Amino acid sequence: MAGSDPKLPVRPQRGEVAAFLDRLARTPAPLKGPGRGRLLFALDATASRQPSWDRAMALQAEMFSEAARLGGLDIQLAYYRGFDELKATPWLADADALLRRMTGVSCVGGRTQIDRLLAHALAETRRRKVNAVVFVGDAMEEEPETLCHRAGELGILGVPLFLFQEGGDHRAADTFRRMAKLSGGAHCQFDANSARELRDLLRAVAVFATGGAPALEDFGKRTGGPVLQITRQLNRPGPR
């Protein structure tokens, strides 16, 4: 719910995007359970996110499209908003079904509930393996140590967190970076002018969750641009 500092430039620089891709390329391949890959798409739906909600809908559709090339990806949408409201869809296998769910959601003012989202992710992966969690949000109003503990639990279970932060909230950025490290994932900041970079990185995470490092390498070759750096990292000799 908290606003970001409008004076802080948050459009990702080349070095930040490269660092994110490097971290993704170095993440161990997800452990596969039976069937398709599973990605939990977690969103902050408090009032400050309303301007970017439509963009998030378009981006998740592209995540499905990329994953379909590899045999598919099941995605669950989970979001919080308002007073103590946290909701999650069933696991869905196509973009249209998820898009219909998202179009029925409006953003409502309230405090962040990231801890509850992470607890939900833990419960889901204990029932059946979740390959990755993507979180898109702009603020963090909870106890950092609590969130870092949850992130560490996900890391132990082999579930990386990929945290995409809109805006320049310093406190949120510091906590999100720590959470990413503890879970074995990555963190990157974006603003309203970064849709292309965010799209490509979300697609890369979806490919990773579906097919692991080999699929990610092929995606980098096909996509080019910033994602091409994935290929360079994967082909670099030495320990990961």
Supply the pLDDT for residue 215.
78
Separation between Cα atoms, residue 107 and residue 87, nearest integer Å: 13
Supply the pLDDT for residue 199.
74
Worst-scoring range by mean pLDDT, 41-50, 57-66, 115-124, 214-223?
Answer: 57-66
Worst-scoring range by mean pLDDT, 43-47, 105-109, 128-132, 231-235?
Answer: 231-235
pLDDT tens for each residue of 191-235: 766 667 777 777 788 887 887 777 777 777 777 665 654 445 334
Q: Give the residue with greater pLDDT, 233 vs 154.
A: 154
Q: Which two three-digit tokens encode residue 182?
A: 């503890």
Separation between Cα atoms, residue 168 and residue 25, nearest integer Å: 25
pLDDT tens for each residue of 131-141: 999 998 999 99
* Mean pLDDT value of segment 37-46: 89
Helix (H) or strand (E) holding 187: strand 186-190
Amino acid in the structure at residue 133:
V
What the chain holds in terms of domains, given with CATH numbers, is 14-235 (3.40.50.410)
Worst-scoring range by mean pLDDT, 67-71, 120-124, 150-154, 189-193?
Answer: 67-71
Q: Which residue has the tokens 């096909």?
A: 222
